[in-house]
Amino acid sequence: MAQRPIALPPEFIPSDIGVYVHLPFCSARCYYCGFHSSTKLDDEVVAQMLERLLAEARSLMALLEKPRIDTVYIGGGTPSAVPARLLCPFLERLADALGIASKGSPPSGKRESDRGSGAPCGGPEWKPHATASRPGRPSDLGNGDENPASGPGFSCSQRHAGAVEWTVEANPETVGPDFLLAVNDSPANRISLGVQSFDDGALQTLGRQASRERIDRALDLLVARWSGRRSLDLIAGIPGRTPEAAAHDAELAGATGIEHVSLYQLTPEPGTPLLDMLAAGQLQLDQHMQEEAWLAAAERLLATGLADYEVSNFAQPNGESRHNQRYWRMHPYVGIGPSAVGTLRSSARAPDVAAVRLTRSAFGGLPPKYSIELLDSDTLAFELCMVGLRTAEGVDLSDLARLTGSDATRPLLRGIEDWAGFKYIDRERLRLEGRLALIRPGRRILDHLLTSLELPRRRPSHASVWTVRSAPR
Ligand code: SF4
């Protein structure tokens, strides 16, 4: 397909945005993982990658004319696998590159661009700060740390993200005092821990590095040394595990008092060792049993008092992931890193090009190149329903009408009505909030619903791939 430079028209420049940063390093590859990541964790390789990510962040912010940052999500890979002496300055420099206001910016007003690359936090240019700036932070933080860089005097400048929700993903085996020191002294205010299961056998089946003992240690450390928000990932439908065992995992997760749990079902991805093991008959997956396991775990999470605000995501009140909500509401977000994607919606009523989807076409060069897919309003409306109807809050019908004209919402309502006779529509929400939402059983069979709906889609004739080479200035 032909590629040519594109400058984003003003209606696609967002006022606020969510940013996903892909940190593609892991200490080892899990058997089921289809994500891009490398296990080459030597300092030089990692530092080079971090510099590239920072350069890309600066470039994107210039391209988008420095929008207000609403959420930041550092995912992977495994961000906690990156040594704290590199992670800590990276988080701080990233905040600066994104233009996030900080409580502890140097009095001189120095910015990231004024610093030498890779200067350690608390180095000569950056004075160490007191370690008790975060409410509830233990005063002994830093004692007995495993990493020399996290000993007394090691501290990033004390930034805070203000209203920004800033999540860092972590795996239990790499959550130690040094990692917690790095994130405590950064703008991060939410840690998402990849537990997946509390059972050693299940962890081995998945090829995870953690053990039950490491998970318990990480959770204890989070309680003792982290005052920010916490989330935990679980996987149901692991070969050899019964629904009761999956429910037990969910119960243990709920017992931690953690405010957010994501519950996924194991899916064998192409090219993974898991798929090879299944093909060779070394492991067996029964789809029915998998679904039963997911349901049993989900019911147990609900019983612990968490609400399923999205099919796979459970939270205490106000514990929802704001970053994920941006995806489900199709609010603008961008990605930084090798596997990054983003979507920007037009603020104008524009049936032919209602949104653009940015995907990194090649990583490493500057200025970075993005493939851009153009989405017409019907396609965007369909996508909005596809993701929005997974959530308890559903889809704002006035948003849909703004996007497609009020006519487009009628076939949608009619389709759901025909399909389910209103059985699955959350009528209270529709009446009181003007939102189309499904009650729980409907949300869980959404894929079936959407394929049976007659929504107009014109994407194939409107999709094209362009390349952004520089900011539109
Ligand atoms: S830690 Fe996460 S990103 Fe890394 S290999 Fe395992 S599942 Fe994949």
Answer whether residue 358 shows pLDDT above 90. no
Mean pLDDT of 467-473: 41
Mean pLDDT of 346-358: 83
Answer whether residue 444 shows pLDDT above 80. yes
Domain boundary among 272, 292, 326: 326
Answer whether residue 318 shows pLDDT above 70. yes
Answer yes or no: do 128 and 213 share one domain: yes
Whether ligand 1 lies within 6 angstroms of the CB of 26 is answered as yes
Whether ligand 1 lies within 6 angstroms of the CB of 172 is answered as no
Instruction: Identify which of 32, 33, 209 to mutate to test ligand 1's pocket (most ligand atoms within 8 A of the CB).
Output: 33
Instruction: Identify which of 23, 27, 30 to mutate to test ligand 1's pocket (most ligand atoms within 8 A of the CB).
Output: 30
Minimum-distance ligand 1 atom for the alpha carbon of 76? 3
Question: Could you please report the per-residue DSSP string of 360-412?
Answer: EEESS-SS-EEEEEEE-HHHHHHHHHHHHTTBSS-EEHHHHHHHH-GGGHHHH
> CATH code at 102?
3.80.30.20
Q: Are 84 and 180 in contact (CB under 8 A)?
A: no
Question: Could you please report the per-residue DSSP string of 136-196?
Answer: T--TTTTTT-SSGGGSTT--------TT-EEEEEE-GGG-SHHHHHHHHTSS--EEEEEEE
* Residue 85 tokens, joined: 């002496």
Domain boundary among 282, 308, 326: 326
How much is the pLDDT for 368? 67
Q: How many domains does the chain have?
A: 2
Whether ligand 1 lies within 6 angstroms of the CB of 78 is answered as yes
465 domain residue, yes or no: no
In Å, how far are 203, 215, 256 from 301, measured between CA atoms?
A: 20, 19, 12
More confident residue, 329 or 115: 329
Answer whether residue 16 shows pLDDT above 60. yes
How many other β-carbons are positioned within 10 Å of the β-carbon of residue 281? 7
Specify the length of the chain in residues.
473
Q: Which residues of 133-155 are buried (b: 16+ CB within 10 A; e: fewer)?
A: beeebeeebbeebebebbeeebb
pLDDT tens-place string over residues 189-219 = 999 999 999 999 999 999 999 999 999 999 9
Distance from C-alpha of 168 to C-alpha of 308, rounded to nearest angstrom = 22
Whether ligand 1 lies within 6 angstroms of the CB of 29 is answered as yes
More confident residue, 233 or 447: 233
336 domain residue, yes or no: no
How much is the pLDDT for 348? 81
Whether ligand 1 lies within 6 angstroms of the CB of 35 is answered as yes
How much is the pLDDT for 408? 62
- Hey, whose CA ends up nearest to atom 5 of ligand 1? 29
Percent of the chain with pLDDT over 90: 56
Looking at residue 418, its amino acid is D
- Hey, whose CA ends up nearest to atom 3 of ligand 1? 77
**Of 254-263, 307-316, 364-373, which gets the smallest average pLDDT?**
364-373
How much is the pLDDT for 386? 85
State the first-to-last Cα distance of the chain, in angstroms, to the nearest integer: 26
Mean pLDDT of 143-159: 33
Minimum-distance ligand 1 atom for the alpha carbon of 33? 8
How much is the pLDDT for 409? 67
pTM: 0.84
* Domain of residue 424, residue span: 390-457
Answer yes or no: do 306 and 172 share one domain: yes
How much is the pLDDT for 54? 95
344 domain residue, yes or no: no
- Hey, whose CA ends up nearest to atom 6 of ligand 1? 30
How many Å lie between the centroid of ligand 1 and the Cα of residue 36? 9
